Amino acid sequence: MTWIADVLLLIGAAFLFLGALGLWRMPDVYTRLQAGTKAVTLGSVAMLIGVGIERPDWWPKLLLITLFILLTSPLGSSTVARAARVIGQRPWRAGDAKETP
Amino acid sequence: METLSTATELEWLGWTFYAGSAGLVLLGCYALFAARHALRLLLGLFLLESGVNLFLVAVGFRPDAAAPILVGEQAGSMVDPLPQALILTAIVIGVGVLALGLALAVRVAKEEGTLDLAELGRRLAATHTPATAEETLPQSGRTETP
Amino acid sequence: MIMAWVALACVVTMLVAGVLVLTQRKLIGAIAAASVVSVALSVLLVVLRAPDVALAEAAVGAGLSSVLLALAVRRVGAVDSKEDT
Amino acid sequence: MLTSRPRWPALLFILGLALLLTALLRDLHFGNAPMQVGQAINGVAAHETGAANVVASVLLAYRGLDTLGELAILFAAATGAGLVLGIAFRNGNGEAQAKTNTEPPAGFILRKGADLMFPFLLILGAYVILHGHLTPGGGFQGGAILAAAFFVPQLARPSSPFNERTAHWVEALAGASFVLIGIAGLAGAGWFLAPLLGTGSVGELLSAGSIPLLQLAIGLKVGSELAGLMIALHGPKET
């Protein structure tokens, strides 16, 4: 049973790393939000499930944390994207210069 | 959490924490000295506070002790609760001070139109110089107020 | 042993973010870096077995302080001095 | 950037301070805290106050007067900030509403999400406050969460009025009840903030005498103060 938890933790760590890498590599705010939200949400949820398999008595709190992440993460990213659109941020096209972070 | 095995490892961990807190204190002090913008000053104060908080909690640490919260009937040794209660107080007072400073900064920006500390000091010196000296030393910033 | 490595990683993160607070060109970036300092500090406090203080630091230091600073920056954004924008 | 070029006097000072700190820290042996008072408190705290969280018992029983002073400082800071920003609760609503209308409105997702999160955050804050004597947490941490809970709807709908009069009443009543519990301890057992209501058995929700009530008072006071501070700072842009 414990190797399933290990695999889930590894998947979570890999996706969190990919999210961080994407945040650094992507050219503009919208693509960075893609990396920062989707990969990080999947990574943290996989990590929480892994921890839940490792420690079965923590399930209720972990479930609540998962619910909270699933609720707030898309909310935050959509709000940031909307704010960027409102102030007139243009999406990146091929050939444009990469924005400085 | 596992306990530490050797004395050298403990010393190493101690230097890690001390380096972190001392580094934050030094960065905060540098910001307090070199800041040109009022909000940078408040950020420096925030860093300084964080460093002091970390240092005081690290002083109360014991390697073989648990967190100061009783679970069941366990009666092992626990780390020092006094610095922790002190720091809990300090964090909340810190946010109060930060909020008051921010309110003052917002008001100054509204009245004066700038938050540049050198510029604000120049204006303050110009306002407090007597009328005779104002003609000889206009807007110099080095005016010696009597 | 794993505790010591976590502590080392968090101290390095904290100090790098502390330097970023001083060197970020934009004020809002400096505030984000200060928030990172607080988060790393709260992990360090958990390692030091002070969960109460860690919770306070995460809620007040990383959450409320950054919100207050960001609100103030939003209000005074137009009156920054020349080299700070 | 802090400055365009390094400030040499400040760097020199920092170098001296670093040398001083290194010299001081070399003599501190990490992990060997003498903790004479801490040891004594750890031994008797659960028996004397009935709280499983020793930090909470130090904060609210052994050093309760200090916490009252801290609440006074926070109150002074919040009042001072409100005064400096010129937001009296008489004209807070109408004026703020008129000014914030220039901002673009928040989107549908943010509005609905804020509605969805408000009860969630409220429950989390109440949980953290009421379990302060059992688990990490307590009045200050839960108060910060409550303040966030009341600020998120304000952020989503800038025009919705925050009832500052109610917030002031909650703040005043919570502060007064903290003092009243302390005076009740003075009358009952002979010293300020003496534990009342019996200690109960350690580890249950209804235990630790008056500590949960004090946590609740602190939580409400801190929450209303911090929410008021954030709403006072969330004003219109200065141009």
For residue D131, give Cα distances in angstroms to D61, D136, D203: 16, 8, 10
Find residue B37's DSSP bridge partners: B116
CA dihedral A67, A72, A77, A79 (to 10 degrees): 140
Phi, psi of B116 (to 5 degrees): -70, 120
Cα(B122)–Cα(B138) distance, rounded to whole angstroms? 10
Find residue B66's DSSP bridge partners: B78
Cα–Cα nearest to C55, from B43, D124, D138, D60 = D138
Mean pLDDT across D191-218: 75
Q: Is residue C8 in some structural domain?
A: no
Mean pLDDT, rounded, of chain C? 85
Cα–Cα nearest to D55, from D69, D71, D38, D72 = D38
Long-range (24+ apart) CB contacts under 8 A made by D197-204 are D198/D50, D199/D47, D199/D48, D199/D49, D199/D50, D200/D50, D201/D50, D202/B70, D202/D46, D202/D50, D202/D51, D202/D52, D203/B70, D203/B71, D203/B72, D203/D52, D203/D134
Residue C5 at interface with chain B, using a CB cutoff of 8 Å: no
Mean pLDDT across B60-69: 78
CB pairs under 8 A between A and D: 22
Residues in chain C: 85
For chain A, what is the domain count?
1
Q: Which of C8, C65, C69 sits opposite B16 (nearest CB)?
A: C8
Three-class secondary structure of residue D102 per DSSP = coil
Q: Is residue B143 in some structural domain?
A: no
Residues of chain C with pLDDT under 70: 78-85
- Chain A adjacent subunits, 3+ CB pairs under 8 A: D
Q: Which of C50, C55, C63 sits opposite D137 (nearest CB)?
A: C55
Cα(B87)–Cα(D178) distance, rounded to whole angstroms? 21
For chain C, what is the domain count?
1
- Looking at residue D6, the DSSP 8-state letter turns out to be -
Cβ D30–B18 below 8 Å, yes or no? yes
C-chain residues within 8 Å CB-CB of B58? 48
CATH code: domain of residue B128: 1.10.287.3510
Three-class secondary structure of residue D208 per DSSP = coil
Is the pLDDT reported for residue B23 higher than 60?
Answer: yes
Question: For residue A23, what are the domain limits?
Answer: 2-86
Sorting pLDDT into bands at 50, 70 and 90, what band is D92? very low
If phi > 0 it is left, if psi is from -120 to 50 it is alpha, else beta; for residue B3 that is: beta
Q: Is residue B141 in some structural domain?
A: no
Cα(B37)–Cα(B119) distance, rounded to whole angstroms? 10
The string of pLDDT tens digits covering residues B44-56 is 999 999 999 999 9
For chain C positions 18-77, those within 8 Å of chain B (CB to CB) are 18-19, 21-22, 27, 30-31, 34, 37-38, 41, 44-45, 47-53, 56-57, 60-61, 64-65, 68-69, 71-73, 75-76
Chains B and A touch (3+ CB pairs under 8 A): no
Mean pLDDT across B112-130: 80
Q: Can you give the pLDDT at residue A81?
A: 87
D-chain residues within 8 Å CB-CB of B11? 30
Q: Is residue A28 in some structural domain?
A: yes
For chain B, what is the domain count?
1
Q: Is residue B95 in some structural domain?
A: yes
Is the pLDDT reported for residue D239 higher than 70?
Answer: no
Mean pLDDT, rounded, of chain D? 79
Is the pLDDT reported for residue D111 higher than 80?
Answer: yes
- Cβ neighbours of residue A16 under 8 Å, at least 6 residues apart? A39, A40, A43, A44, A47
Given a contact cutoff of 8 angstroms between Cβ atoms, the answer to whether A40 and A15 are in contact is yes
Look-up of token digits 């110099």: B140
Residue in chain A closest to D155 (alpha carbons) equals: A79
Three-class secondary structure of residue A100 per DSSP = coil
First-to-last C-alpha distance (Å) of chain C? 44
A-chain residues within 8 Å CB-CB of D107? 78-79, 82
D-chain residues within 8 Å CB-CB of A66? none
Residue in chain C closest to B34 (alpha carbons) equals: C22
Secondary structure (DSSP) of B1-38: -PPP--HHHHHHHHHHHHHHHHHHHHHHHHHHHH--BH
Cβ D109–A68 below 8 Å, yes or no? no
Question: Which of D110, D121, D157 is the mutation pick for testing A, counting most A CBs within 10 A?
Answer: D110
- Looking at residue D4, the DSSP 8-state letter turns out to be S
Q: Is residue B52 in some structural domain?
A: yes
Q: Can you give the pLDDT at residue C17?
A: 93
Residues of chain A with pLDDT under 50: none
Q: Which of B13, B42, B69 sits opposite C4 (nearest CB)?
A: B13
Q: Can you give the pLDDT at residue B74?
A: 60
Residue D230 at interface with chain C, using a CB cutoff of 8 Å: yes
Question: Which of B4, B5, B16 is the mutation pick for testing C, counting most C CBs within 10 A?
Answer: B16
Cα(A23)–Cα(C13) distance, rounded to whole angstroms? 17
Cβ D233–C72 below 8 Å, yes or no? yes
Cα(D138)–Cα(D52) distance, rounded to whole angstroms? 12
Question: For residue B86, what are the domain limits?
Answer: 7-64+78-134
Cβ A79–D107 below 8 Å, yes or no? yes
Q: Can you give the pLDDT at residue B9?
A: 79
Sorting pLDDT into bands at 50, 70 and 90, what band is B129? low
Cα(C45)–Cα(C9) distance, rounded to whole angstroms? 13
> How distant is the Cα of B61 from the closest Cα of chain C, in angstroms?
6
Q: Is residue A39 in some structural domain?
A: yes
- Looking at residue C61, the DSSP 8-state letter turns out to be I
Cα–Cα nearest to B51, from C68, D11, C44, A43 = C44
Q: Is residue A66 in some structural domain?
A: yes
This complex has an ipTM of 0.85
Q: Is residue B142 in some structural domain?
A: no
Question: For residue C44, what are the domain limits?
Answer: 25-74
Cα–Cα nearest to D130, from D145, D116, D152, D148 = D145
Q: Is residue C37 in some structural domain?
A: yes
Classify the C-alpha dihedral D108-D112-D113-D118 as positive or negative: positive
- D9 CB neighbour count, 10 Å cutoff: 9
Three-class secondary structure of residue B78 per DSSP = strand
Q: Can you give the pLDDT at residue B140?
A: 46
- Chain C adjacent subunits, 3+ CB pairs under 8 A: B, D
Cα–Cα nearest to C18, from B50, B53, B34 = B50
